[in-house]
Structure 1
Amino acid sequence: MVEPAQKAAPAGARPGLRRSVGFYGLMFVSLGSIIGSGWLLGALKAAKVAGPASLVSWVLTAVIMATLALVHAELGAAYPVAGGTARYPALAYGVLGGFVGGWVAWLQAVALAPVEVEASLEYLDNVGWIKQHLNLLSPSGTLTASGFAWATVLMAIFTLINLVGVKLLSESNSATVIWKTAVPVLTVVVLLSLRFHPGNFTAGGGFAPHGAHGIFAALPVGVVFALQGFEQAVQVGGEARDPQKDLSRAIIVAMVIGTIVYLLLEVAFIGALDPAALLKGWDNPIAQGSFGPYATLATLAGAGWLSYVLYADAFVSPAGTGMLYLGTSARLSYAMGRERSLPKGLGKVNLRGVPVWSIVLSFVVGEIAFLPFPSWQSLVSVITSATALMYAFAPVSMIALRRRDPDRERPYRAPMPRVLAPAGFVAANLIIYWGGFDTTWKIMIAVVIGFGLFLVARATSSAVERLPIDWKAAQWIAPWLAGHVLIGWLGRYGESGNLNALPEWLDLLVVIAFSLAIFYWAVNVAVPSDKVRAAIERESLELAVQS
């Protein structure tokens, strides 16, 4: 049976994370991650690609995310440890499997904090006084010296809040999330009541002007990005007061609220557009462009006051999400430091239970991300594919751990696991494919770089600290990643580099068949039960294991 470790640690043991976050804190951590810059941008970007059928994109994404959320709910309740998405695969597939899962999770989390900060500044740059006096952005969309300075100030504030501890992070986020949820709901009510054109849902080429391809292509350009984040409650599971009771409820409630809000926003957005702007199609449905579309619609609806609220929220929502992701990325590097797959200093906490060096690392990487790299829009697909890779580890880990650790108390059990788990794995793989070949190969290069860092960390650790690599358990990972590069190259999605050789629908069948083959291979080669128990024992400061 697994219970929260509320007993005193053994004498001489290193300090552990403190369990101080309740249900609402956990739920707000997930919901605050779901509602960020995505709500202000997602509807426009999805409509450009799929037209009114973007509603189908949101429903499809909601189903996919709900499937994966249920898997994470079971794992989070059964194994309540910090940086859970890095440690579930470590339990099931050993140190190498855990590192790959943790590395892609860390990549997307550490990139999201600066991306959300930059989104905040890009929105603010639309305000006349700020644009004139602060000059935050260059013509190409990258940060100016002034923009970099203000971005650094925001990152520093996020870092200080995280350094104080997860309780302050949770409490600060809870207040922010109430605002972040209220503003989109207010926007929906105002637009639906003042400016709604039902004919827009069949204008500009019909309900689905770009067919099924447009529906699927909309997922990686902002839809999945908007709805991701439910797993953030899992990342702070090692600091949950009652994880067995609260984690699963927090994840599911946050996912339901986020899905309802985003669907209503898309309906309100499409209905509020000027019908004349759709006569030439959906390539540019609103003249305002990518930033500030809801503020423009509010003004056209005669609710100019709402545009000021939206510009304020355009700063608060992304900034609040950035603060969360800086903290959760630190929990992931902390988890990999504990496993010695990254330098061990990252796995240490201070006397107040705060992973200081992991938080500092997230700040430093965030500062590097502010350099003249691609804009928010260009990074969304990369982050989405990295997130899908992270999500894919959860279903195989859940089934493997059910088989290898059957006596574990599971306060929440995902329904129909034999269907849900492979379906979740397939769904995550489809998101990777829809992200396009030009995104997939970049993510795979990042994984190879991470493997190099993994080897360096092992080479600089003592033999006593190095955990043995179970190569057999991790044998499926390299073919899985390489297979995605090959299918993406042959496939139909991406802006450059792919051959477009696979016919429509046949390409999806290829991805599904490939995913199922990898899933059952992975489940069957997981580490044996005694190694799972040994891995859990190493987490004894966070998991109280009783026979």
Structure 2
Amino acid sequence: MTAISTKGGTTAGSRHLQRDVGFWGLMFVSLGSIIGSGWLLGALNAAKIAGPASILSWVIAAAMLLVLALVHAELGGAYPLAGGTARYPLFAFGPLAGFTAGWMAWLQAVTIAPIEVEATLSYTAHLSWVAKNVTLLNADGTLTAAGIGIASVFMLLFTIINIVGVKMLSDSNSIAVIWKTLVPLLTVVVLLTLTFHSGNFTAGGGFAPFGAHGIFAALPAGVVFALQGFEQAIQMAGEARNPQKDISRAVIVATIIGTIIYLALEVAFIGALTPSNLVHGWLNPIGAGDFGPYATIASAVGAGWLAVVLYIDAVVSPGGTGLVYVGTTSRISYAMGHERSVPGFLSRVSLRGVPIWSIITAFIVGEITFLPFPSWSSLVNLVSSATVMMYGFAPVALHALRKQDADRARPYKLPAWKILSPVAFVSANLIIYWATYQADWKICASLVLGLIIFAATRASLPAERRVNLHLKSAMWVWPWLGGLLIIGNFGQYGGNGAIPNWWDLVVVIVFALAIYYWAITLAMPKEDVATAVEAEAEIEYPEALEAA
């Protein structure tokens, strides 16, 4: 087993994750994950689906994700371990529930880096000088052989930086995030100054031309994808210098900054559109075939210099996010390797103090993702669904651990947690429902592959090393996921529409609350929770117990 030393050194034949990341590094990891390809493409996708009311989509998503972020902030401070999203459900409900959450976390994280790279190539492929020299995309939006080659170079660069060490990852990401934050803010200022048509907010059928359905449908079609990523500081907790103090602050600050930037961008985008493009609706608000919305608008209003900056940012922003996700993906598989939920070699740490085989695995899976799968716009629903399923485990785990591990020090405490924790779980369930039935069943189907890996790994262990799965404590997970699929099949978002509008939301909310409070009753006994927490902390982060 591997341990973490206070100074990131090594002891008697063991190697350790290096604790080199401070508050700013953690905050930039989360903020860098939030500001990726979503800022370049999210506003356009949302406007096509919801019209001007897409502003409400961002507000709703921000409110829901902020509550989920606050839940994760408490858990991250109380249990500062690498790959935390895979560990909180384990502490509360046992290894099987922990693996299910961890699999969802790994599945969404491992696909984001290649999706970000694909977004970069999709954005730049529309430049005339690029199109004349190389064809990056097929007609259906998938990558050509040349596109896969260039994408592979990006992934290899991300992998090398991560292998060099966490400090290089943190430092290089911090530089990228400063750029990634300034460019969107500059774009907002320029567009609001040079062109703003207030009439656009009621054009093309009024403020909400697609009604409430459009507002909700826009959430998983790019809005949630853009705002997600706050948990990345938590995944790096095992390498934080002062995790109890810094993790919660990093998560909260990054989420607030990201929310403000995205809301401002949507307002500026809608106000900057050419009114004549909206006469016939919101299908092509910047013109058919255009993929780079802000660059197109900047060129149209005479700010060609800004268009150049935006095309540079089309490489920097998604690239920076991809860099972070290769790193944090490896921390999730590292955590599951420690727990022997997946093969143990994934938890091996290199001489530089990084989970080397987990990083290489992230690279290999990323390469597979570049094969002819759906385009950026088609993939975000799938990723959003997997992400929010992962988020959904946290509120239930928080409530259970508040009861079964009540004496643990919590540097940050979720205010009004008995209200906000179930609200966070309901929020996650609604977003999963809005992600469409088609996306949800594909993600749940992928869980079958994960469970096969889990079962094979467990079977390979000597009998004395097979820990109790606590099947009773995990039994709520399958009715939860199965119930969401049934509701989705009969719902308004990719289903057959048998459940009427608004009643479908009532059904999801009631179902979510029933699962939430049932799950709390199934939490492991206090002594088993304490044993699970102590075992993980002793293996990886002995100071965590002392601080608590």
Normalising by structure 2, what TM-score?
0.97
Aligned to 2:493: 493
Listed one character per residue, the Cα deviations across residues 444-488 of structure 1 (whole Å, up to 9, x for unaligned) are: 101122111111111112223322210011010110111011000
Contact 1:346–1:357, Cα closer than 8 Å, also in 2:
yes
Whether 2:287 is the aligned partner of 1:287: answer yes
CA change 1:256–1:11 in 2 (3 A) is closer
Contact 1:41–1:290, Cα closer than 8 Å, also in 2:
no
CA change 1:343–1:300 in 2 (3 A) is same
Whether 2:539 is the aligned partner of 1:521: answer no
Contact 1:80–1:543, Cα closer than 8 Å, also in 2:
no
CA change 1:236–1:281 in 2 (3 A) is same
Q: Which amino acid in the other structure matches residue 238 of structure 1?
A: G
* Most deviating of 387-396 and 135-144: 135-144
* Most deviating of 484-493 and 522-531: 522-531
Summarize the alignment of residues 177-216 of structure 1 with structure 2, pairs less than 5 Å apart: 177-216=177-216
Give the Cα separation in 2 of the matches to 1:81 and 1:316.
29
SS at match of 2:285: coil
Contact 1:49–1:217, Cα closer than 8 Å, also in 2:
yes
Q: Following TM superposition, by how much is the alpha carbon of 1:290 offset from its aligned partner in structure 2, in angstroms?
A: 5.4
Listed one character per residue, the Cα deviations across residues 32-70 of structure 1 (whole Å, up to 9, x for unaligned) are: 000000001111111111111101110001100110010
* Most deviating of 143-152 and 44-53: 143-152
Aligned to 1:269: 269
Give the Cα separation in 2 of the matches to 1:405 and 1:425.
20
1:534 to 531, 537, 541: 531
Give the number of equivalent residue pairs: 541
Aligned to 2:397: 397
Q: Which amino acid in the other structure matches residue 152 of structure 1?
A: S
Give the Cα separation in 2 of the matches to 1:121 and 1:10.
41
SS at match of 2:473: coil
Q: Which amino acid in the other structure matches residue 169 of structure 2?
A: L
Give the Cα separation in 2 of the matches to 1:408 and 1:219.
36
Summarize the alignment of residues 67-466 of structure 1 with structure 2, pairs less than 5 Å apart: 67-287=67-287, 289=289, 291-466=291-466
CA change 1:126–1:507 in 2 (3 A) is same
Q: Following TM superposition, by how much is the alpha carbon of 1:236 offset from its aligned partner in structure 2, in angstroms?
A: 0.2
Give the Cα separation in 1 of the matches to 2:19 and 2:521.
35
Give the Cα separation in 2 of the matches to 1:520 and 1:126.
50
Give the Cα separation in 2 of the matches to 1:418 and 1:524.
15
Listed one character per residue, the Cα deviations across residues 138-158 of structure 1 (whole Å, up to 9, x for unaligned) are: 222211111111111110110
SS at match of 2:463: coil
Normalising by structure 1, what TM-score?
0.97
Gaps in structure 2 of 5+ consecutive residues: none
Q: Following TM superposition, by how much is the alpha carbon of 1:167 offset from its aligned partner in structure 2, in angstroms?
A: 1.0
Aligned to 1:506: 503
Listed one character per residue, the Cα deviations across residues 293-351 of structure 1 (whole Å, up to 9, x for unaligned) are: 11111011111111111011011100110111111111000111001010011112123
* Most deviating of 390-399 and 520-529: 520-529
SS at match of 1:472: helix
Give the Cα separation in 1 of the matches to 2:444 and 2:390.
13
SS at match of 1:406: coil
* Most deviating of 142-151 and 68-77: 142-151
Contact 2:203–2:279, Cα closer than 8 Å, also in 1:
yes
SS at match of 1:286: coil
SS at match of 1:137: coil
RMSD: 1.4
Give the Cα separation in 2 of the matches to 1:10 and 1:301.
58
Gaps in structure 1 of 5+ consecutive residues: none
Give the Cα separation in 2 of the matches to 1:379 and 1:33.
17
Give the Cα separation in 1 of the matches to 2:70 and 2:320.
25
Give the Cα separation in 2 of the matches to 1:6 and 1:403.
30
Q: Following TM superposition, by how much is the alpha carbon of 1:9 offset from its aligned partner in structure 2, in angstroms?
A: 8.7
CA change 1:400–1:120 in 2 (3 A) is same
Give the Cα separation in 1 of the matches to 2:258 and 2:277.
29
* Most deviating of 455-464 and 230-239: 455-464
Contact 1:16–1:542, Cα closer than 8 Å, also in 2:
no
Q: Which amino acid in the other structure matches residue 509 of structure 2?
A: I
Give the Cα separation in 1 of the matches to 2:424 and 2:367.
34
Aligned to 1:40: 40
Contact 1:45–1:290, Cα closer than 8 Å, also in 2:
no
Contact 2:290–2:296, Cα closer than 8 Å, also in 1:
no
